Amino acid sequence: MTVDEALVKYCLRLGDDAMILGHRLSELCSKGPYLEEDIALTNISLDLFGQTRMMYTTAGELEGKGRKEDDFAYNRLEPEFENVLLVEQPNGHFGNTIARQLIFSVFYYHLFSELKNSPNENLAAFAAKSVKETTYHMRHSAEWVVRLGDGTEESHWRIKDALNEIWSYRHELFEQDEVDTTLVEAGLIPDTTTLKARFENSIKEVLDRATIDEVAEGWKATGGRRGHHSEYLGHILPIFQSIPRTYPDSTWS
C-alpha cells in the first residue's frame, strides 16, 4: 500500500466516524431531553458534519478520480463505510448518548492534539480546526457524566450501565492495520498505542469525579475498519441516502 492510498483511506475513515456519529446525534433534533440540550447535541452533530465534509473532500482530491463529498456520503454501500462500530450504536437513553460521546470525544481529542503537528498539511489543518470543536464536545459529555454519576441513585446506575455497555467499543479506535502502519512509518499520523494511556487517564479523571469506581471489561469490538458492521449501519444508510438515490444529482431549484 502506498502512502497516498493509505492517506485516502485514513481520511475516509475519519470522515466516516464523524459522519455516522453526526447522523446519530441529528436523530435527536427536536427530541432532546429539553430545549437547551437539544441544541447542544445538534450543535455537536453540525460540527461533526463539518469535519466529515473536510475529510471527504480531501479524500476525493487525493484519490484523483473526481469523487466529491456527496459521492462518499450517498453513493457507497454498507461494506464500503469503514467507521468504528462505536458511532453506529443507537442513542438509547440520554446516558447512552453521553457515554458514547465521551469515549469518542476523548479519543479524538488526544488524536487531533497530535495530528495537528502532522507534516501533511491537510491533516494538520483539519486536526487544528477539529481539536477546538472536540475539546468542547469532550467537556460537554464529561460534565454530564459527572452530573449523572454524582447525581441521583437512578442517574448513577443508568450512566454506569451505559458506560459498561459501550466501553468495549473503544478498542477499535486504537486498532492499527496497514493503513495506519503505512502512515505512522511515513511520520504523518501518531501511533495510537501512544495515545492509550492519555485516553485512559482522561476517562479515569471523569469517572472519579462521577463517583464511578470501575467500568466493566468485556469483549473487544472489531470489524468496522474492514467494513464489517453491526446491525445498525444498514438501517442508518437508507435514511440519509434515500433522497439522493431516488433523485440522483438533483439540486434545489
Partner 1 sequence: MSADNQFPQWEVFIQSKTGLPFKHAGNLHAADAELALQNARDLYTRRQEGTSIWVVPTDQIVASNPDDSDAFFDPAEDKIYRAATYYTMPEGAKHI
Residues in contact with partner 1 by the rule CB under 8 A: 33-37, 39-40, 43, 136, 139-140, 143-144, 147
Residue 82, number of CB atoms within 10 A of its CB? 23
- Radius of gyration of the chain measured on its C-alpha atoms: 18
Residue 155 or 222 with smaller CB distance to partner 1: 155
**Closest CB 126 distance from partner 1, rounded Å:** 21
Which residue carries 435527536 as its cell? 28
Which of 147/171 has CB closer to partner 1?
Answer: 147
User: For residues 91 and 155, which CB has a smaller minimum distance to partner 1 in the complex?
Assistant: 155
**From CA 15, how far away is CA 13, in angstroms rounded?**
5
Written as one letter, the residue type at 13 is R
Task: Give me the sign of the Cα torsion angle 150, 137, 22, 59.
Answer: negative
Question: What minimum distance in Å lies between the beta carbon of 99 and partner 1?
Answer: 17
Smallest separation (angstroms) from partner 1 to the CB of 40: 5
Which of 72/94 has CB closer to partner 1? Answer: 94
Q: What minimum distance in Å lies between the beta carbon of 191 and partner 1?
A: 33
CA proximity to 126, closest of 50, 44, 45, 13: 50
Residues 26, 28: Cα–Cα separation, whole Å? 5
